[in-house]
Each structure stands twice: as structure tokens, then as C-alpha cells.
Structure 1
Amino acid sequence: MRPGHQWFKLSNVDKTQTTPSTDQPLGSPTSASPPPSVIQALPETTAATSGEVLSKDGDDDYLGPKALYILISSLMLVVIILTLDQSILATAVPYITNEFHTITDIGWYGAAYLLCTASLQPLTGKIYTYFSLKYSFLAFLGGFELGSLICALAKSSAMLVIGRAVAGMGASGLINGALTILTVAAPPSKRPTLLAIIMAMAGAGQLLGPLVGGALTQHVSWRWCFWINLPIGGLTAVVMLLIRFPPYKARKTKWTFRDIVNDFDLLGFAVFAPSCIMLLLALQWGGITYAWSSATLIGLIGGSVGGFSTFALWEYHHGEAAMIPFSLVRRRVVYSSLVTTMCQFGGLILQSYYLPLWFQTVKGDSPTMSAVDTLPTFLTQILFAVLSGALTPRIGYLLPLGLFGNTFASISAGLLTTLQPDTSLGKWVGYQILGGMGRGVSTQQPLQAVQSVVTKDMVPVATATLMWSQTFGGAILLGLGQTAFLNFLRHGLKSYAPQLNPAEVIGAGATNIIHQLEAKGDFVTGQQVLRAYNYAITHVFYLAMGCAIAGFFATMGLGKTKVEKKASKKKVDEEKGEEAPSHGTQKTDVSDANSTTCSPSVQSASAEDKGISSAVLSK
């Protein structure tokens, strides 16, 4: 057992109760008790049945209300600028393509960001596990700010893509870092509400992004979409430096090269990152830059498959020290949550990029008006995210809201495929409301499920893995969306405007070609190009619909995962002395308990036979 690890047990036992158990939560070691240094790091904690340290759900073990409020406020600023950065670009893309005279890099503006984020995110879980939460978080924030500066100064489309890649490297550790800090700082009973607030702030960033981006692009310059990140990020850094982070764990003071390679699983990362990059490059270039049958794409796809296979074998061999431990991802609740969040974010990012493009090209909106037209999506998403945070503890189960949300997201994406240039306002507003409802209700379910079924020292790795699945799914879907968009645009131009050269239309920019044709008085051809764009964009929404449907079925893997409200003291006193939860009962409520330490042999047997605590064993 590495020094400094802390654990919490998932049970519904009174804090004063002492019950021997052979149950072992995921991620806990087999030693009989934690080192004294860890026990001293968390006051008023005791050793538990399988060697974990149990934190009370009280003010002595977590930040007080004032400190927690300041900390959560700073985390909300970070979440806002991240989601602002992701959504602010959508309304600026047509203007960027006009300035750089190309639309072939539209997908890269998002994919470069997500590619770097997805490649690095699993490693960030290890960084947060072994290093200071505060300074690791600030280092990632600095990388994000540097990338924003490069984008603001970009002189070419390629330089903008590079800036997005650097920003993605920094962003790779921010969301999972914020969620890890929230888990450590807030009592379990407050986490669903605080998580809902964080999700609402993410929705606020998505809401403000198109509005701010549209206003800046139209009235100042699209470059201010990136300049705006610098003062907000600077203010966040100052706030984070001035507040006290909660103690997390005792860390190593001396490192050897072998420690670094083993603990951070650098060999696994060296295989994992290139595999991600090769796959995303293949999806980005397929059918556009290179034919699918070309040696380049065959090599990239083959290399990524071989790389991921090698990585999986290595992770299995590396055991609990792996960057993505098998003991984590083999859990039904965990892998179902990974697939669910991958599908949810993939569908969301497709709509975030291509719906504003539809408003600006097909409807002829300005950047600001296209942002206003997307308000129904994000307003309903914010509202229902907050409602979901309040309803989940009352319903008690994660599955109902997850299925409800993905059902409405599927219906919404399907309806978006029917958009036409003459679609009425009532229809496209209603379609967006359905999608906002669905995503708002279901987005936080996978995160709650994963964080509830792992021990405290596994939270950074589990959260980073979930965030990786989200960003990797987004990058894959953006690449597929870009490929689908350009291929269907070529097909649409051949059908609706065969007299035009598709390469010239693509090279002119998303809105320039229509304006140029109308300026010449050729309104008929302009309308033909408009219909070709409508044809291409609506076919991208078929991908979003497929993601939502896949997310619906993946959500079923949450099963009877249960989230309960904090038990009252009276109820706990009544339950005191009752038998431990029976095998097969799955509870993901993060309650607290104190119990005695069982022998290592019993723990080993429990871990080997069951692998997880019966309190969280799937039915």
C-alpha cells in the first residue's frame, strides 16, 4: 500500500457503530490498516473493516460553509470559462473561415482541442493522486490560458489549430480536477446539490458562449473570443491561491525514476496517447484529405487498433498502478457510465457546432442572432440540470432520470434532421427544448454513479477516466461529423447546384459563397447552395440521434444504482445494531461508517472472491 492513501466506505451504517466485515470497496488495499500519517491527515477518522479511513459527514472533516462557498465559486469560474471557450467558438467559425479562406479546418478547431484533452486526461488522474490538488490545478489552468493567447494571436488557420491543441492540454486537468476537489471538500450529503450547481454553471457557459461570441465576432473581432479567457482565468488563479484547499493525502517527498514510471504508468501513457491521436487523425482525414482505402488511413487505423490492444494488455498486467485500472473499468456501473457520457457529450458537441452553422448559413442569421436562436437548448438544459440535482436524492435511483433524459435527447436529435430552410420558429424552438430537457436531466447521472462506487483514493482516476470518455467521444464525433458534413455537402452541391465547383464553394467559406452569389444577383444559385448546406448539416444530426439512442441503452447498465438522502440521526439510531447490508444490494449513497479492522487474510479473500464491497455489488 502506498503511503498517503485515503478511503471511504459506501455503507449506510451509523458513525458510532462498529461492525466487522469482509467487504472491500473498489480501490482499497489488502493491508490491515492505513499508515499513521494518513490517520493524522484526517481528524476524527478510524480504520474500517477493509483497511480504509472513513471520513465523517461533518464540518470537522470537510470545509466549513464559508470556505466551501469560496472554493465552489472559484471552481464555477473555471467551469464557466471552459464551457464558454468550447461554445463561444461555434458562432465565430463562419467568420474565421472567411478570414482564413477555408472550411476544411472547421472540425479541427474543436477536434485539436479535444484530441489533446482526451490523450492527457487519464494521466491527469495520476497527477492529482500524487501531487498537490491546488498547484496541479493551477498548472493546468496556466496551460489553458497559454493556448487561449496563441489562438488570439493566430495569423493562420494552422496557428489557430495549434493554439486550440495547447488549450486542450491545459483543459485536460481542469474539469476532473474541479470535480475531484468538490468530492474532497464537500460532505457526501451536499455533493448532489453542488454537482447540480456546477452542471448549471457549465450550462451557463454554454448559454453565454454563443451570445458573447456572436457579439464579439460581429462588433469587435473573433479574436476576442480568446482574449476574454485571460482576465477570467487570471482572476480564478488569484482566488484559488488565496483560499485553503482541503487536506487530501500525505504525499511522497522523495521520488525515484522507477517510482515515476511505475506510479504514473508512463509506459502505458506512451502507448495510449499515440493510439488516440492516430484514431482521431484517421477520422478527421477519412474521405476528405485521403481516401479511406489509402495507405495513410489504413496505417493510422491499424496503428490505433494495435496501440489500444497493447495498452489494454499492459493495463491488465500493471494492476492497480495502471493509468486506467481494470478493477475500475470492468465494473458494470463504471463502463456503462463511460459509454453513456461519451454518447451524451458527442451528441451535444455536434449540435453545439452545427446548429449555429445552420442558423447562419441556411437562415441567414448574424452570429449574435444565431446565438439567440440556440437559447432554448441551453436555458432548458440549465433549468433541468438543477431540477435533476434536487430530484435524484428524492427518487433514490439514477436510472429513471437517465432513461428519461436520453429518450428526449433522442427525439430532439431526430426532429433536428427534419429541418428545412422554411421550418417555422415554433418547430425549431420546440426541438431544442426537448434536447435541453433531456441532457439537463441525464448529464450528471454517470458522474454520480462512478464517484459513488469507488473509494476516495480512486476518485481522481475514476473522474479522469469519465472525463476522458466524454472528451474522447466528443473528439471522435466531431471528426465523424466533419467527414459527414463535407461529404454530404459535396453530394448536395452535385444534386442542387451541379454548375458549381464543390472545391470552390468549400474554399470560399461557410457564408461568403452565398453572399457573393446574391451580390451578383444570382439568387437562384444562392438558394441552391443554401439547400446543399441544409442537406449536409441535417445529415450530421443523424449522428447526434445515433449517439442519443446509444446513450439510452448504455444508461440501462446503471441498473438499480441507488442514491439516498442522508439518514436522520433518529433513523440511524434505530438501525444501530442491525445486520450489515445483504449481498446483492447495490447502494451508491456515500454515507459514513466506523468499524473495526479485519485481518488481511479476510480482506484478501473478500477482494478475490467478490472484488468489491457488497454494499456496492451490482444486482
Structure 2
Amino acid sequence: MVWKRLYSIFPLKIVYLAAIALFELGSLVCGVAPSSVALIIGRAIAGLGSAGIFSGALLIIANSAPLHKRPAYTGMMSAMYGVASVAGPLLGGIMNIPLVLSVVVGAISSGGLVTVIGHYVPFMIASTVLMSVGEGLLTTFQPNTGHSKWIGYQVICGLGIGFGMQQPLIAVQVVLPMELVPAGTALLVFCQTLGASIFVSVAQNQFQNKLIRDLHRFAPSLDPRVVINAGATNLSAIVSANVLPFVVRAYNAIEWKSVKGKQIG
């Protein structure tokens, strides 16, 4: 929201360069951070700058490209974030690559198709359907799920994300007058990042609480804190072979409760 006001008051070029400088400053603080507190401060500064860069890039497209070409350019910019995150799966697990690549393909293809057909609403509907179906299928994963399913389900989900990630930004540029585009874009980016920052933490907290309960039930001899600190990719290094299947079961124990035959309300 701060960047919304800055882009509305000051020249776009100056504010955009200031956002880049702020991002670089935060990255520098992260690089030389002597403690976790300094690292957190550096990431906060870099995140503030990144928000300004993202909003500014969208405004540059809105001010420099004709309306019928903006979907393609916005799709390319959204795909850039997907390409940049390809390095993430190398650290977090190579099995995430199908999701990342399908997001990139979906963002680029939907941007080009919106430019050709001139309508973005069909892709918002397709995004909702594909993402809902894909994420529902992801909940069916089991420890013995085969490659074809965990790749295919991620592709469905990723295409849904890619189809819809830039369409609201296009809608803002279409329905709002140019003087309100900075405010609309900043508000949209704020809502997107706010939702992610809140509910990722909520989901992580819920997952850890459920994992602790299931570890007490399936593997009572283990300290849940040790398992959580080790992470899912290092379980075999800290858990004996005879206990490992029970720990994996605890990780996979997504709770499904039937309400059939029960009075609700």
C-alpha cells in the first residue's frame, strides 16, 4: 500500500529505481548478516523492495504497452517468477519441478491467448477449475503413489495457477482509468501477498500440531521435536528402519472425517 501512494505521487521511474535500490540493500544485509535477527531484518527490507519492483513492473507495462499486448507481457513477467523459482526445487525437492514448469507454461500460454482472443474471463474460470481439481488430487497422495500421479497432478494444479495468476492484473488495467491503475495494482498485489503470508503460517502450524499428535500415536518412542527439526527429507538419517514406516504414516495422516448421519449445527 505504501508503493501505491508513492507511484501515484512521484514519477514512475524514480520510485521504481528506489525499489530496486531497497531490494539490493536488503539482499546486501542478508549476505553479511551475522545473526538470524539481522537476516530477518534483511529479508524484510528486501521484501519491501520486491513489492515495489513487482508493482512498478506492472505499471511500466500498463504505461508503455497497448492494451491488447499487455496480457502477453504480463504473462511473460509472471513466468519470470516461475523460472526464477526453478532453483527452489533443487533445494526443496526435485519432485516440485513439474509444478513449477507447468506454472510457467500456463502463465506464458494464457498471456498469449488472451492477447489473441481478447478475453481474460475464460482463463480465470479455467484456472479455478484446474487448480481446484489439481489440489484436490494432491490430497490423495500416499507414500506409495507412483510417478505418473505425482507428476500429472502437479501439472494440472500448476496449469491452473499459471492460467489465473496474471488475469486479475489484466482486469485492473482494463476496468480502471489509468490514474487509478497504480492504486488498483498495489491493492491487488497487497491482497495476494497478505493471503499467502498469513495462511502459509496457519497451514504450517496446523500441520505441525497434527504431526505431533500422530507421532505420539504411531511412533511414541520418538521425540516429535527431533523429527520436525530434521525435516521430511532427512527422516532416514535420524529414524531407524523399523520405525521409519510409522513416521512416514504420521506425515501422510491427512484427516478425513465423515459427517454422514451426524447432526450439523
Normalization by structure 1: what TM-score? 0.39
Unaligned runs of 5+ in 2: 257-265
Which segment is superposed worse, 466-475 or 485-494? 485-494
Maintained 8 Å contact 1:144/1:166: yes
Pick closer, same or farther for the CA change 1:499–1:208 going to 2, 3 Å: closer
Letter in 1 for 2:15: S
Counterpart residue number, 1:524: 242
Counterpart residue number, 1:419: 141
Q: Is 1:402 matched up with 2:124?
A: yes
Counterpart residue number, 1:533: 251
Work out which structure has the larger RCO, using CA pairs closer than 8 Å and 6 or more positions apart in sequence: 1
**Rounded Cα–Cα distance in structure 2 between residues aligned with 1:508 and 1:186:** 49
Describe how 1:370-381 pairs up with structure 2 within 5 A.
370-371=93-94, 373-381=95-103
Q: Which has the higher helix share?
A: 2
Counterpart residue number, 1:461: 183
Describe how 1:91-110 pairs up with structure 2 within 5 A.
none
Q: Is 1:446 matched up with 2:168?
A: yes
Counterpart residue number, 2:24: 145
Pick closer, same or farther for the CA change 1:132–1:440 going to 2, 3 Å: same
Pick closer, same or farther for the CA change 1:159–1:514 going to 2, 3 Å: farther
Deviation at 1:210, TM superposition (A): 2.8
Maintained 8 Å contact 1:376/1:432: yes
RMSD (Å), alpha carbons: 2.2
Deviation at 1:152, TM superposition (A): 2.9
Counterpart residue number, 1:117: none
**Rounded Cα–Cα distance in structure 2 between residues aligned with 1:525 and 1:197:** 47
Counterpart residue number, 1:362: none
Q: Is 1:472 matched up with 2:194?
A: yes
Q: Is 1:123 matched up with 2:123?
A: no
Describe how 1:263-274 pairs up with structure 2 within 5 A.
none
**Pick aligned residue for 1:188 from 67, 71, 92:** 67
Normalization by structure 2: what TM-score? 0.87
**Pick aligned residue for 1:198 from 37, 59, 77:** 77
**Rounded Cα–Cα distance in structure 2 between residues aligned with 1:513 and 1:180:** 46
**Rounded Cα–Cα distance in structure 2 between residues aligned with 1:514 and 1:156:** 30
Give the paired residue count.
256
User: Percent of aligned pairs with the same residue?
Assistant: 41
**Rounded Cα–Cα distance in structure 1 between residues aligned with 2:118 and 2:229:** 53
Unaligned runs of 5+ in 1: 1-121, 215-355, 357-369, 543-619
**Rounded Cα–Cα distance in structure 1 between residues aligned with 2:86 and 2:167:** 21
SS at structure 1 position matched to 2:85: helix
Counterpart residue number, 2:260: none
**Pick aligned residue for 1:163 from 32, 37, 42:** 42
Summarize deviations over 1:461-500 as a string: whole Å, max 9, x none: 1110010011001111111122112111112212221122
Summarize deviations over 1:33-79 as a string: whole Å, max 9, x none: xxxxxxxxxxxxxxxxxxxxxxxxxxxxxxxxxxxxxxxxxxxxxxx
Maintained 8 Å contact 2:72/2:114: no
Summarize deviations over 1:99-142 as a string: whole Å, max 9, x none: xxxxxxxxxxxxxxxxxxxxxxx110110111122221122122
**Rounded Cα–Cα distance in structure 2 between residues aligned with 1:157 and 1:530:** 31
Describe how 1:224-239 pairs up with structure 2 within 5 A.
none
SS at structure 2 position matched to 1:418: coil
Letter in 1 for 2:205: T
SS at structure 1 position matched to 2:26: helix
Deviation at 1:516, TM superposition (A): 2.2
